[in-house]
Amino acid sequence: MDITADRDVGGAIVTPSRRLRFPRPSGALVWAVVTPFAAWAVARVAGLERGSLATQLMTGTPYVAAGSLVPVLLAALTRNRAAAGIALVTTAALGFSVLPRAFGSAEAASGTPLRVLTLNTFFGKADPEAVMDLVRRLKPDVLSTQELTPGLVEKLDAAGLRELMPHRLLAAEWSARGSGLYAKYPLTPLENLFRPVGHNMPTALINLPGVKPIEFVDVHPYPPLGDQVREWTAALEAFPPAVPDRIRILAGDYNASLDHAAMRRFLSRGYADSADLAGQGLTPTWPANKRVPPIITIDHVVVDQRVKVAGVSVHTVPGTDHRGLFADLRLPGA
């Protein structure tokens, strides 16, 4: 007898798991990414920028420093030890160049207070009431202005600046050349301290009680655009070095960042950047009041290394493309 039986086959069908695999970047791609960052780091550390375009691009170093983590990741994915090593050195070099500005190195501030406010007024278009609001709130002893026009001088006086800061040394013009110093204390024009290259740069002795007279420079060189890069470099080189018997402060629109070799050479002659000392060295000051937010730091209050910094703050003023920079300084005794 033929017996047929259907039998179910037990068990489960198991489908092997498949790991998601992403294409590994090629060695050529990794080197193509690593090389530009490494070249930038070499140029920044060695001060090799040349010409107008490279000088302008160098202001972007903080953003390049942040982006330098990308080639480190790519090199790690490819297990390319040589590329990874160069990428790590690049990130370290850019990081050491940039990060100290965010932490500062200021000591406990003591000494005679001197409060400084600097503002590029953008062809005199800064809102005078906003400027006066800053003056009343921050109570600066010195106001250093750039691109100051005769019209803005009249508007500021009408808004009350003459009563608050009666002493002044003005070189106002109906152009970007205009500049001017306002102060609560007497100002004496100072001639022949250096040969200004660029816009008007009024220079004065400020007589504060309890300290020797302070030499103060309202800074505004040409921007490093086109052939003006030579004059911009010459302007930074022309600023006088610090001297042991006099305190000097140079505040204004330098059209330069701390990533420019010319600016660092100037600082190396006995000066320090107040925002850098206060941990505000990465706070951008330009361009303001535009669709693009401020991205670079080109306004500075530069001080003699003997001056201490109690604080630094940055303030947006309607009507101008620069933010105001305020530095609360402490001067050594007489």
Q: Locate tokens 């850019």: which residue?
A: 94
**Residue-level pLDDT at 13:** 57
Does position 41 have pLDDT exceeding 90, yes or no?
yes
Distance of alpha carbon 90 from alpha carbon 144, whole angstroms: 38
Count of Cβ atoms closer than 10 Å to residue 275 Cβ: 27
Tokens found for residue 141: 């002893």
Does position 1 have pLDDT exceeding 80, yes or no?
no
**Residue-level pLDDT at 10:** 53
What does each C-alpha distance from 293 to 235, 284, 299, 318 come to in angstroms?
A: 28, 9, 16, 13
**Residue-level pLDDT at 210:** 85
**Residue-level pLDDT at 25:** 62
**CA triple 160-165-171, angle to 5 deg:** 100
The residues pairing with 272 across neighbouring beta strands, listed in sequence order, are 303
Q: Check: CB of residue 303 under 8 Å from CB of residue 249.
A: yes
Q: Check: CB of residue 91 under 8 Å from CB of residue 69.
A: yes
Does position 27 have pLDDT exceeding 90, yes or no?
no
pTM score? 0.90
Does position 74 have pLDDT exceeding 80, yes or no?
yes
Rounded to an integer, the average pLDDT of 239-257 is: 97
Distance of alpha carbon 73 from alpha carbon 84, whole angstroms: 8
Rounded to an integer, the average pLDDT of 111-119 is: 96
Tokens found for residue 230: 């030579």
Could you tell me the domains of the chain? 27-98 (no CATH), 107-331 (3.60.10.10)
Distance of alpha carbon 47 from alpha carbon 58, whole angstroms: 10
Share of the chain above pLDDT 90, in %: 85
Q: How far is CA 176 from the centre of its chain?
A: 20
**Residue-level pLDDT at 11:** 55
Rounded to an integer, the average pLDDT of 231-247 is: 97
Of residues 22 and 229, more confidently modeled: 229
What phi and psi, each to the nearest 5 degrees, are found at residue 200? -60, 135
Q: pLDDT tens digit string along 294-314?
A: 999 999 999 999 999 999 999
Does position 81 have pLDDT exceeding 90, yes or no?
yes
Confidence of residue 104 (pLDDT cuts 50, 70, 90): confident
CA dihedral 53, 55, 60, 61 (to 10 degrees): 130
What's the mean per-residue pLDDT of the chain?
93
Does position 8 have pLDDT exceeding 60, yes or no?
no
Q: Give the residue among 153, 47, 108 at the shortest CA–CA distance from 311.
A: 108
Mean pLDDT check: name the lowest of 102-106, 142-146, 182-186, 235-239: 102-106
**Residue-level pLDDT at 109:** 72
**Residue-level pLDDT at 267:** 98
Mean pLDDT check: name the lowest of 10-14, 159-163, 191-195: 10-14
Q: pLDDT tens digit string along 315-332?
A: 999 999 999 999 999 999
Q: pLDDT tens digit string along 116-131?
A: 999 999 999 999 999 9
